[in-house]
């Protein structure tokens, strides 16, 4: 899709995003704003300091509501007031290691939060398109060498992954129980690991790389042999936008979709660190140092045949370009550039014909 195509559909549409203050939510918010959508965001305050949401001044460009998706009463009022046509559900507790420390909060947010959002969609007649954004970690991970397909078993191992599996199942149940009348199309998107400028989260490889490089330190990689499907943040966002648009126009497009890179871009964490060091330059290095911690999958990738066949989608950036775009954003941020302009430039570079 191009910016012009996004404007043609999303221009003046009322869109609600949960989790808009997060990393992916901030990029999605900006893309929709540039497309002329009337955006309402519902989220806790930004989860990191610094945060992309604040750096880019996004609060001044949309209707931003501070709220917890566990609070059904408050969320319902926002739906009643804004009457959205399209809803993107991104709000979540997204960190695997944190889910071991706060499992109850993780399940409350990721499972009951999804129930609450779907309840609001159910009672808001204006909503015609709903997308629940989950994760590649929803699958029962058997360390298979081939990619998981949408028909494979859902059963995440850790509390984060398992809670997102439950979020998928909640969505499936609501779709079959309440939305078979055709009023609102319902889909989920299971995305691989995303990288891009403005991610300041703890316990993620690229933000850890940026922090170390900015401080002139060696990067510490705790598991360089784990394989993951890494992709630039705008890859899944483009797919989310396409799904929400297509199913709004034609309900036959609703469904459950994997969104990940090509097999060649499913790389080990060590390879990703190598790509980062090459892009950063200045003699940047990394070292392997196991820091301990709970179970995480070693090998995970997705089969994205369905989304490619249904939407004719192919990734625009490979993992090398994704890392380079992330380094570009990070260096401009460290140099004090206008980060709204940097975001807008990278968005327009991605959404070209």
For residue 100, give the CATH number of its domain.
Answer: 3.40.50.720
- Which pLDDT value is given to residue 294? 62
Q: How many other CB atoms are found less than 10 A from the CB of residue 150? A: 18
Q: Is residue 73 part of a domain?
A: yes
Higher pLDDT, 291 or 330: 330
- Which pLDDT value is given to residue 292? 58
Question: Can you give the residue range of the structural domain that contains 248?
Answer: 3-195+229-262+301-319
237 pLDDT more than 60: yes
Q: Is residue 200 part of a domain?
A: no
Residues 222-234 have a mean pLDDT of 90
Q: Is residue 325 part of a domain?
A: no
The phi-psi region of residue 111 (left if phi > 0; otherwise alpha if psi is between -120 and 50; otherwise beta) is alpha
**2-28 pLDDT per residue, tens:** 999 999 999 999 999 999 999 999 999
76 pLDDT more than 90: yes
Are the C-beta atoms of 91 and 68 separated by less than 8 Å?
Answer: no
Q: What is the pTM of this model?
A: 0.95
Q: Is residue 217 part of a domain?
A: no
Q: Is residue 90 part of a domain?
A: yes
Residues 81-101 have a mean pLDDT of 94
Q: Is residue 131 part of a domain?
A: yes
118 burial (CB, 10 Å; 0-12 / 13-18 / 19+) is buried
- Which pLDDT value is given to residue 263? 87
Taking the C-alpha atoms of residue 224 and residue 178, their distance in angstroms, rounded to an integer, is 45
Taking the C-alpha atoms of residue 74 and residue 165, their distance in angstroms, rounded to an integer, is 25
Q: Is residue 122 part of a domain?
A: yes
Could you give the number of structural domains in the chain?
1
**117-137 pLDDT per residue, tens:** 999 999 999 999 999 999 999
Residues 21-41 have a mean pLDDT of 97
- Which pLDDT value is given to residue 291? 62
Residues 89-103 have a mean pLDDT of 92
Counting residues of the chain whose pLDDT is more than 70, the rounded percentage is 97
Q: Is residue 65 part of a domain?
A: yes
């Amino acid at each position: 899709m191009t910016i012009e195509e996004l404007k043609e559909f999303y221009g003046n549409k009322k869109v609600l995003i949960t989790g808009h203050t997060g990393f992916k939510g901030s990029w999605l918010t900006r893309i929709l704003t540039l497309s002329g959508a009337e955006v309402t965001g519902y989220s806790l305050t930004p989860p990191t300091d610094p945060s992309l949401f604040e750096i880019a001044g996004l609060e001044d460009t949309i209707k931003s509501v501070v709220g917890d998706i566990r609070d059904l009463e408050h969320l319902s009022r926002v739906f009643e007031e804004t009457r959205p046509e399209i809803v993107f559900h991104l709000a979540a507790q997204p960190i695997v290691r944190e889910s071991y420390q706060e499992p109850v909060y993780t399940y409350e947010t990721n499972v009951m939060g999804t129930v609450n959002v779907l309840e609001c969609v159910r009672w808001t007649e204006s909503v015609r398109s709903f997308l629940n954004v989950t994760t590649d970690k929803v699958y029962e991970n058997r360390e298979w060498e081939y990619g998981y397909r949408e028909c494979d078993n859902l059963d995440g191992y850790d509390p984060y992954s398992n809670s997102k599996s439950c979020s998928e199942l909640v969505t499936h149940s609501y779709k079959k129980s309440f939305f078979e009348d055709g009023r609102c199309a319902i889909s989920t998107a299971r995305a691989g690991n995303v990288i891009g400028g403005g991610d300041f989260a703890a316990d993620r490889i690229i933000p850890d790389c940026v922090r170390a490089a900015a401080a002139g330190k060696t990067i510490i990689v705790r598991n360089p042999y784990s394989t993951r499907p890494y992709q630039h943040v705008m890859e899944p966002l483009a797919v989310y936008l396409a799904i929400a648009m297509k199913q709004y126009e034609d309900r036959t497009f609703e469904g459950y979709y994997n969104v990940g890179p090509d097999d060649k871009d499913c790389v080990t964490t060590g390879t990703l660190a190598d790509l980062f060091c090459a892009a950063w330059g200045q003699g940047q290095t990394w070292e392997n140092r196991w820091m301990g911690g709970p179970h995480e999958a070693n090998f995970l990738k997705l089969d994205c045949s369905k989304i490619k066949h249904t939407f004719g989608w192919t990734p625009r950036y490979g993992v090398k370009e994704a890392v380079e775009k992330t380094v570009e954003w990070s260096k401009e941020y460290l140099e004090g550039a206008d980060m709204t302009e940097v975001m807008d430039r990278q968005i327009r570079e991605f959404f070209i014909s």
